[in-house]
Amino acid sequence: MPLVSMRQLLDEAALGSYGVGAFNVNNMEQIQAVMEVARETESPVIVQASRGARSYTNDRFLIHLMWAAAELYPEIPVALHQDHGNSPETCLSAIEQGFTSVMMDGSLLEDGKTPSDFEYNVRVTREVVERAHATGVTVEGELGTLGGIEDGHGSGEVHLTDPEQAVEFVERTGIDALAVAIGTSHGAYKFSKPPDGEVLAMNLIREIHERLPRTHLVMHGSSSVPPELVATINEFGGEMPPSWGVPVQEIQTGIEHGVRKINVDTDARLAMTGAIRRVLAEEPSEFDPRSYLKPARAAMKAVYAERMTQFGQAGHANDYEPKTLDQMRDTYSASIQD
């Protein structure tokens, strides 16, 4: 099965009332872990790469790894998504490389740090939508900004999404999915205490979904930062302070109200780092990368398996026949003519 459109994965998730995890990758072991768990749980899945990941891995290595994943796991519908594209050029280069979905994050200027204004966001996002839909590729946009900085991306400021403005943004851009800012943050240090309604505005998701019932919503910064993963890192030489992530129960509430894509990165990083630290601490003479990357891959698999089950995507890989990008292009074209 070739890499497929993220739009179809989200459309099917909406029909089945579940969410689809979007897992960030930087190397072969992460891709293997995601795909092996997708097979074991029979889950459709989104694999995503940030600009930093594309630079680290190199686009050609990354796309060939993903083509290999599609070849080795032909029964799994998998989309390759550009996470937080900072400009139309970044998104278009991803499409040229073979990505089947892109995020144009026009909530920030091209430096990936400075908050933009609404008209700028509409303009650059609309430009990407027009170019992407002409090839059948999905587009995610963002309105509002998240806290935290990851891979050098983020303003460090939180600006919550305005539900009324969200309606105008979707209408003027034609995006397939909308990332909403509800108080979440990138990275491991999201909250200094368990988040409640004062810091995590789940009511915004409900209100936006009521206004935009056909628009797929996206939760960024949705790692849960399990304390046992942090404890393992610290047990074997790490120095991570206590932190709280987004409770899975809150994500599940979001899924009930239109959230179809859930971004998870930090949890897998924590699992991988803890496993590597454990091996090197317990076996200080070890020098074979395979000796610590195998348990690292296994630790990530445990995280991915739990999330795919919790988000509800498990068991849905074979519910439908994936469409080609040409078919998606024709669908977009027909909607414009209508």
Asked if the model's pLDDT at residue 259 lies above 60, the reply is: yes
**Does 338 participate in catalysis according to the annotation?**
no
CA dihedral 28, 54, 140, 247 (to 10 degrees): 50
Judge whether 162 and 144 are in contact, CB under 8 Å: yes
Q: What is the mean pLDDT of residues 104-133?
A: 96
Q: What is the mean pLDDT of residues 55-83?
A: 97
Using one digit for the tens of pLDDT, what is the confidence trace for 40-67?
999 999 999 999 999 999 999 999 999 9
Q: What is the mean pLDDT of residues 279-305?
A: 98
Break the chain into its structural domains and give their ranges: 6-337
How much is the pLDDT for 192? 67
Band of pLDDT at residue 300, cut at 50, 70 and 90: very high
Taking the C-alpha atoms of residue 133 and residue 126, their distance in angstroms, rounded to an integer, is: 10
Band of pLDDT at residue 113, cut at 50, 70 and 90: confident
How much is the pLDDT for 190? 62
- SS3 for 227-272 is HHHHHHHHHCCCCCCCCECCCHHHHHHHHHCCEEEEEECHHHHHHH
The DSSP-derived string for 165-206 is HHHHHHHHH--SEEEE-SS-BSSS--BSS---TTTS-HHHHH
Could you count the other beta carbons within 10 Å of the beta carbon of residue 169?
Answer: 25
How much is the pLDDT for 201? 85
The topology (CATH level 3) of 6-337 is TIM Barrel (3.20.20)
Q: How many helices (H) and strands (E) would you count in the chain?
A: 13, 8
Band of pLDDT at residue 189, cut at 50, 70 and 90: low
How much is the pLDDT for 196? 63
Tokens 């050098």 belong to residue: 152
Q: Which of 83, 105, 265, 267 is catalytic?
A: 83
Q: What is the mean pLDDT of residues 152-178?
A: 86
Mean pLDDT of the chain, nearest integer: 93
Taking the C-alpha atoms of residue 245 and residue 222, their distance in angstroms, rounded to an integer, is: 7
- SS3 for 55-71 is HHHCHHHHHHHHHHHHH
Taking the C-alpha atoms of residue 9 and residue 311, their distance in angstroms, rounded to an integer, is: 14
Band of pLDDT at residue 188, cut at 50, 70 and 90: low
Taking the C-alpha atoms of residue 338 and residue 333, their distance in angstroms, rounded to an integer, is: 9
Q: What is the mean pLDDT of residues 110-133?
A: 96
Q: What is the CB-side half-sphere exposure of residue 139 using CA atoms within 13 A? A: 30
How much is the pLDDT for 296? 98
Q: What is the mean pLDDT of residues 87-99?
A: 98
Band of pLDDT at residue 291, cut at 50, 70 and 90: very high
Using one digit for the tens of pLDDT, what is the confidence trace for 26-36?
999 999 999 99
Q: Which two tokens stand for residue 9?
A: 């994965």
Asked if the model's pLDDT at residue 13 lies above 60, the reply is: yes
Judge whether 132 and 139 are in contact, CB under 8 Å: yes
